[in-house]
Amino acid sequence: MRTEKEILDMAVQIAREDDRILAAFMTGSRADTDAPKDKYRDYDIVYLARDIKPFYNNMEWIREKFGMPAVLQRPELNVHPMLLPIGDGTFNYLMLFEDGVRIDLSFEFPPYLGDGEPVVVLLDKEGILNNARTDENYWHVKCPKEDVYHDVCNNFWWCLNNVAKGIGRDELPYAKEMFDYHVRSMLNQMVSWYIGITHDFAVSSGKMGKYFKRYLSADLYEMYAATYSDADYENFWKSVFTAGDLFRNLALLVAKELDFQYNKSEDENIIKYLLDVKNGRFV
């Protein structure tokens, strides 16, 4: 596998030798000082160019400059309704090479103001990155407002009724999708807030909770891991109730720390409904 220096030297040289590219910078995990320093980190490289047309789906240029990727994705060429691109004129090459190196190369328009995301400037020919806004706290868990907290609690408990119906109807794909996407996203948000209150909102829980294990106690992380189950309905039910217990415990701690009110009735009523479905009361 090529080294970071080799990859970044290559990226800078390509930009320096091409007059159409005005600046180059790196974002993502390699620009984030809080991210683990491992071999799986991508190279998120951005080239700024006033005219992106010459670089738009130009595979000949990619092969010449970077070599041919083993696997390639070009999101702007997607036609599936679920994968349609933003369509703002930018272009992205997501490239995985045979040596395990992944480079996500983006072509964007200047000026780049940024949104606080960590940035490492690689090359700036015209000083257009001088005013780019970067913030070391970009990824930190943000303290919620009480109405946002209530929305997350309500959606977590509400969506569990759909999980129960899916199990009751023997509609496994529906029940799993509802639990693993809709319910889990609310659970993950509450876990992140708990991590925030226990670390003064000065750390990141990571994309999709990838740093949960780093910041949760062993007992809490074991409980979180138990919210994943196989396709066996008995095991699925256990994961559902474990998720409820974990969510409740953390939501109460967050509420206490932030002086919020926790809605116990929606919690208790949904748990009763789940038990009724599980025990066949409505059959």
Where residue 52 sits, what CATH number does that domain have?
Answer: 3.30.460.10
- Per DSSP, what are the bridge partners of residue 131? none
Q: In whole angstroms, give the CA distance from residue 112 to residue 209.
A: 28
Q: What pTM value is reported for the model?
A: 0.85
Average pLDDT on 102-122 reads 87
- Alpha carbon separation from 42 to 2, 36, 66, 231 (Å, rounded): 12, 12, 15, 33
Q: Do both 118 and 202 map to the same domain?
A: no
Quote the tokens at residue 2.
């090529």
Reported as a single tens digit per residue, the pLDDT across 79-88 is: 999 888 888 8
Confidence of residue 134 (pLDDT cuts 50, 70, 90): low
Sequence-ordered alpha helix ranges (H) in the chain: 4-17, 59-66, 146-168, 172-177, 184-198, 212-215, 218-225, 233-258, 264-278
**Alpha-carbon separation of residue 11 from 8, 84, 183, 195 (angstroms):** 5, 28, 41, 37
Q: Give pLDDT tens digits for 152-206.
A: 999 999 999 999 999 999 999 999 999 999 999 999 999 999 999 999 999 999 8
My answer on whether 111 and 151 are in the same domain is no
Predicted pLDDT of residue 250:
98
- Give me the DSSP letters along 69-112: -SEEE-GGG--SGGG----SS-EEEEEE-TTS-EEEEEEEPSP-
Number of domains in the chain: 2
What's the one-letter identity of residue 95? M
Domain co-membership, 201 together with 241: yes
Are 274 and 157 found together in one domain? yes
Residue 133 clears pLDDT 90, i.e. is over it: no
Q: Which domain holds residue 232?
A: 146-278
% of the chain surpassing 70 pLDDT: 96
Beta bridge partners of 181: none
pLDDT bracket for residue 207 (50, 70, 90) = confident
Distance (Å, rounded) from C-alpha 191 to C-alpha 215?
Answer: 10
- Together in a domain, 213 and 257: yes
CB 47 within 8 A of CB 23: yes
Q: Which residues contact 260 (CB under 8 A, 6 or more apart)?
A: 146, 149, 150, 254
Q: How far apart are CA 178 and CA 160, in angstroms?
A: 8
- Give pLDDT, residue 148: 98
Residue 37's identity, in one-letter code, is K
Residue 58 within any structural domain of the chain: yes
d(CA 17, CA 20): 9
Question: Based on the domain organization, do 227 and 116 belong to the same domain?
Answer: no
Residue 151 belongs to a domain with what CATH number?
1.20.120.330
